[in-house]
């Protein structure tokens, strides 16, 4: 059955002669006729016809760090955000077990009404101290933290300006807010400056959103320049540190430590607990008014169950371990730099990457990326392809996430295998 186009969607439905009621096209009543699902089937069926197996939803049989076990076989793993090896760390695991014994596996309610536990506040105080700001609030989802924070704080009279490569969660939050959305070219501070020169007077509140490390490309913004621009144009600045916390700075404190900035230089610090901090969820850190406001009124916090105590305890333990063990931060930085240097020397297109844990190998088509991923998997290396529409078709890639526990030999052998498999452009 053909896909219904947008023009047809706008036309009134014809009347069914038997009932006199409007006749609803079958495509509107079946999930298997949804345009998104039909597109998914076309991609999956096409890949199957040419013998390319799906690289997604692999079943890991233990802790996924620098190594993992899939289907009973051990792999060198570059598909995990476990940057500092904290997921699986005995101290972190014990903290989670102790929290289960003390608090159970769930707080069973919204924190506002009856779900608060001491470990939540301990984690939030530790995050606020990490950033040198007044307070922090944690959410059960990093994606939801962006959606509900932007969606609640800004509205139709406001403007949100973001880097063109910003994460989906930011775009969803802007859509929810009803604010006007404008983007600027990747990491182009001058373009942002010109945009705000023209647009700022037309709006009440203006928010600029950046990432600490861009998750597809592995590069970072010149944060001091963006801070200067936001001050001059009287805007708020939000930095998503999902991939930069634990990876940038001498002690893992992120992009502000990398540049030597005070925490209050940025209005809204956002990050996730699922990467360097070995948990699940997100956080917002900043001034008291921001955090108190979100805790009492942001729907994604107010109407959501609180974070499970063992998750909060694990992330708190991971945060403390990170600060106690700067050698892990140094290790992930060194391994990332090594992979980037070796890949570039071998003629692999690594795009914008600066070597901070995220290194793409851009290969130019989704089919080629999927085949390369499958070839490397057969050779004992697990690395995921990033395909259209997540990135433009010509920018399809393999995306390598580097861990502090990767060895130099693992990285050197991986680059060699990638070259042998045809990973150069």
Residue 184 sits at φ, ψ, to 5 deg, of -130, 155
Please say if 275 is a catalytic residue: yes
Torsion of CA 206, 254, 139, 156, to 10 degrees: 10
What three-state secondary structure class fits 26?
helix
Contacts for 155 with CB less than 8 Å, ≥ 6 apart: 177, 178, 179
Q: Which of 230, 258, 275, 371 is catalytic?
A: 275
Residue environment code for 147-185, b if the CB has 16+ CB neighbours within 10 A, otherwise e? bbbbbbbbeeebbbbbbebbbebbbbbbebbebbeebbe
Residues 105, 108, 110, 112, CA torsion sign: negative
Catalytic hit among 243, 258, 371, 406: 243
CA–CA distance, 352 with 347 (Å, rounded to integer): 14
Q: Which of 87, 215, 244, 395 is catalytic?
A: 215
Which residue, 183, 201, 200, is CA-closest to 191?
183
**Please, which contacts does 26-29 make with residues 24 or more away whose CB atoms are closer than 8 Å?**
26/1, 27/1, 27/3, 28/4
Give me 45's structure tokens: 């069926």
Start-end of H helices in 346-421: 366-378, 408-420
Report the alpha-carbon distance of residue 194 to residue 186 in Å, rounded: 14
371 is catalytic: no
Plot region of 317 (φ>0 → left; ψ -120 to 50 → alpha; else → beta): alpha
Would residue 34 show up in a list of annotated catalytic residues for this protein? no
Catalytic residues: 215, 243, 275
């Amino acid at each position: 059955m053909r896909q219904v186009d947008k023009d047809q969607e706008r036309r009134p439905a014809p009347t069914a002669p038997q009932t006199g009621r409007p006749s609803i096209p079958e495509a509107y009543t079946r999930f298997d006729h949804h345009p998104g699902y039909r597109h998914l089937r076309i991609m999956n069926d096409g890949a199957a016809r040419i013998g390319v197996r799906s690289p997604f939803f692999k079943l890991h049989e233990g802790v996924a760090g620098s190594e993992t076990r899939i289907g009973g076989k051990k792999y060198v793993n570059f598909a995990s955000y476990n940057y500092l090896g904290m997921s699986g760390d005995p101290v972190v695991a014990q903290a989670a077990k102790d929290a289960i014994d003390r608090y159970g596996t769930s707080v069973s309610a919204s924190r506002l009404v009856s779900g608060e536990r001491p470990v939540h506040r301990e984690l939030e105080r530790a995050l606020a101290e990490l950033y040198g700001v007044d307070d922090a609030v944690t959410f059960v989802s990093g994606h939801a933290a962006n959606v509900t924070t932007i969606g609640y704080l800004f509205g139709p009279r406001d403007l949100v300006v973001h880097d063109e490569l910003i994460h989906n969660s930011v775009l969803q939050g802007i859509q929810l807010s009803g604010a006007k959305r404008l983007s600027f070219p990747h990491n182009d501070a001058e373009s942002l400056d010109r945009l705000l020169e023209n647009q700022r007077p037309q709006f009440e509140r203006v928010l600029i959103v950046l990432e600490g490390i861009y998750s597809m490309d592995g590069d970072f913004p010149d944060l001091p320049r963006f801070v200067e621009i936001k001050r001059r144009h009287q805007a708020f600045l939000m930095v998503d540190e999902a991939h930069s916390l634990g990876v940038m700075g001498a002690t893992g404190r992120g992009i502000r430590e990398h540049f030597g900035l005070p925490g209050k230089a940025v209005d809204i610090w956002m990050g996730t607990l699922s990467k360097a901090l070995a948990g699940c969820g997100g956080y917002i850190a900043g001034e008291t008014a921001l955090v108190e406001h979100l805790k009492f009124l942001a729907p994604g916090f107010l109407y959501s169950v609180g974070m499970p105590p063992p998750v909060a305890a694990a992330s708190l333990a991971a945060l403390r371990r990170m600060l106690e063990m700067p050698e892990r931060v140094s290790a992930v930085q060194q391994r990332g730099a090594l992979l980037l240097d070796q890949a570039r020397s071998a003629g692999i297109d690594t795009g914008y990457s600066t070597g901070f844990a995220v290194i793409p190998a851009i290969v130019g088509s989704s089919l080629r990326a999927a085949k390369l991923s499958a070839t490397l998997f057969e050779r004992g290396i697990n690395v995921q392809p990033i395909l259209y529409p997540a990135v433009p078709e010509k920018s399809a890639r393999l995306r390598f996430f580097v861990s502090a526990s990767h060895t130099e030999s693992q990285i050197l052998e991986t680059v060699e295998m990638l070259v042998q498999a045809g990973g150069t452009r």
